[in-house]
Structure 1
Amino acid sequence: MSNLVVVGFPKAEEAEAVRKELVSIQQEHLIALEDAVVVENDADGQVHLRQAVNLTAAGALGGGFWGTLVGLLFLNPLLGAAVGAGVGAASGAMSDLGINDTFMRELGETLPAGSAALCLLVRDATPDRVIERLRSHAPHARLIRTSLSHVDEDRLREMLSKASQQAEALRLA
């Protein structure tokens, strides 16, 4: 089962930097992410979702491939590719895989203007090693919401607090 973890940041750039670092950490098998979305409430109060995977583009690419294949069978590959890409893009745009977009938009509306949150759907992780790697971002991060048990959530808050204190001590040294 996956767990939802939402961490707030004062600026969208920090949330993006953490997401990029998490992608690197994922390649080292310290965390397995199903979804990672930066939710930004810009200075004008508009909510933007920066998703890691563009489902519309992915659907169009897959649909185009299958459409071409079907088109070859019926001797009209260009028409098949066009129809397949259109159907694939439409199905990709209507898909809501991962974290619910409505939830993220509602969350974004509660954020202060100019700030952001990083919404993560975590399948598996080694929390202490991940937090250690993200220590430089910890002074600005705050845990907003999780689907973890109370014990695990408290443990994560404690780890974030320790990482924040260590990062602050390094900055002052």
Structure 2
Amino acid sequence: MSDLVFIAFPTEQKAEEVRDRILALQKEYLIELADAVIAVKDDKGRVKLNQMVNMTAAGALSGAIWGTLVGMIFLAPLVGTALGAASGAIGGSFTDIGIDDTFMKEAAQALSPGNAGLFLLIRKMTTDKVLADLEGVGGTVMRTSFDQAQEQKLRDALAGHAAAAAQQAADGASADPGL
């Protein structure tokens, strides 16, 4: 069973940075993602999705290859390429893998204008190592399918120990009579 996580960030750049970090963790086999999408809400309230895989482009490429092959059979490879690319692009635009686009756009309406959200569809994860790597990156958990305890661990990790470290430093400074 997959888990859904939606985290809000103040900028698209910060959301991209965290997504890149998570994708690096995937290369280390610490997390397995089905999808990772960034949603950005502009000043007019419109939501733009930044998908990991552009299905329209992938469909156009696949269609162009198959169209060329079919076109060669009928001695019209250029016509076959053009028709294949067009039909592949149309088919790709209707294809939706991972998280439902309509759901993401509706959920991203909760973002403030100019903010971005990171949607993750997680198949498997080594929770303690992933949360340790994400510690202190910031962000606000908007929605998850985790249980309460796991969601709280995620919130704590995103907030990091910055506040705790600052408190310890303040306690240490006030306890040190040499200062």
Report the TM-score range of the alignment, normalised by the length of the smaller protein.
0.7 to 0.9
Q: 1:57 to 1:170 in 2, by over 3 A?
A: farther
Map 1:51-130; keep pairs closer than 5 Å: 51-130=51-130
The CA RMSD measured in Å over matched residues stands at: 1.9
Mean alpha-carbon deviation: is it higher for 40-49 or for 94-103? 40-49
TM-score by length of 1: 0.87
Match of 2:161 among 155, 166, 169: 166
Q: Is the 8 A contact 1:31 1:122 kept in 2?
A: yes
Structure with the greater alpha carbon radius of gyration? 2
- Residues 39-95 of structure 1: per-residue CA shift (max 9 Å, x gap): 111233221111111110010011111111111222221111111111110001011
Q: Which runs of 5+ in 1 are unaligned?
A: none
Write the distance in 1 (CA, Å) between the matches of 2:51 and 2:158.
27
Question: Once the 2 structures are TM-superposed, how far is the Cα of residue 169 of structure 1 from its aligned partner?
Answer: 4.6
Question: Once the 2 structures are TM-superposed, how far is the Cα of residue 159 of structure 1 from its aligned partner?
Answer: 4.1
The structure richer in helix per residue is 1
Write the distance in 2 (CA, Å) between the matches of 1:27 and 1:171.
33
Write the distance in 2 (CA, Å) between the matches of 1:28 and 1:107.
30
Q: Percent identity?
A: 44
Q: Which runs of 5+ in 2 are unaligned?
A: 170-179
Write the distance in 2 (CA, Å) between the matches of 1:171 and 1:50.
36
Write the distance in 2 (CA, Å) between the matches of 1:7 and 1:32.
17
Write the distance in 1 (CA, Å) between the matches of 2:131 and 2:18.
11
Write the distance in 1 (CA, Å) between the matches of 2:19 and 2:128.
17
Task: Tell me which amino acid in the other structure corresponds to 1:88.
Answer: G
Q: Which residue is equivalent to 2:174?
A: none
Helix, strand or coil: the match of 1:119?
strand
Q: 1:171 to 1:91 in 2, by over 3 A?
A: farther
Question: Once the 2 structures are TM-superposed, how far is the Cα of residue 111 of structure 1 from its aligned partner?
Answer: 1.1
Question: Once the 2 structures are TM-superposed, how far is the Cα of residue 171 of structure 1 from its aligned partner?
Answer: 7.0
Q: 1:22 to 1:61 in 2, by over 3 A?
A: same
Query: Matched residue pairs, number?
Result: 168
TM-score by length of 2: 0.85
Q: 1:160 to 1:81 in 2, by over 3 A?
A: same
Q: Which residue is equivalent to 2:36?
A: 36
